[in-house]
Amino acid sequence: MLWDDIVIGTGNKGNMASSAGMPEEINNISENSVSYWIDDCFLDVGMTIFKNTEEGDILTNLLKSKKPGKIKKINNFLDSLVVCKLSPSEIKKRIKKSNKKHFEMGEEFARKKIREVLGLRG
């Protein structure tokens, strides 16, 4: 599942979540009555955080906050969960995967630029 890399809490997380009601700047968090579903976290991690956990309470309060820097605080909190909850070997594996992905993206960008300069298609 997309949100099962890290699961904080237990129970039935439901089979549907909505981003309705989330602040406009936050497009990677969905929620239902019992949990938050977060995708595209640090190192492409997806996670489920049950609302009845300490982490769920913290995220709820961060989302409700009206203070400046709210988005940065949310991202820092989620990043810290990824680093704390994944094993060192899993973090290494994901860093390697991310490096490879970004290298390939750079190669493709360079190919497109060369084709552009030479006036070639495709």
Predicted confidence (pLDDT) per residue in 10-23, tens digit: 877 766 777 766 66
Domain residues for 80?
1-86
| β-bridge pairing 47-50 and 35-38 | antiparallel
Q: Which two tokens stand for residue 1?
A: 């599942």
Same domain for 95 and 71: no
The DSSP code for 31 is E
Which residues are CB-contacts of 75 (< 8 A; sequence separation ≥ 6)?
Answer: none
Same domain for 96 and 81: no
- pLDDT > 80? residue 104: yes
Q: CA–CA separation, 36 vs 29, rounded Å?
A: 7
Same domain for 82 and 98: no
- pLDDT > 80? residue 70: yes
Q: pTM value?
A: 0.77
Same domain for 79 and 34: yes
- Average pLDDT of the residues in 12-37: 77
Same domain for 110 and 53: no
Distance from the Cα of residue 67 to its chain's centroid = 22
Same domain for 75 and 53: yes
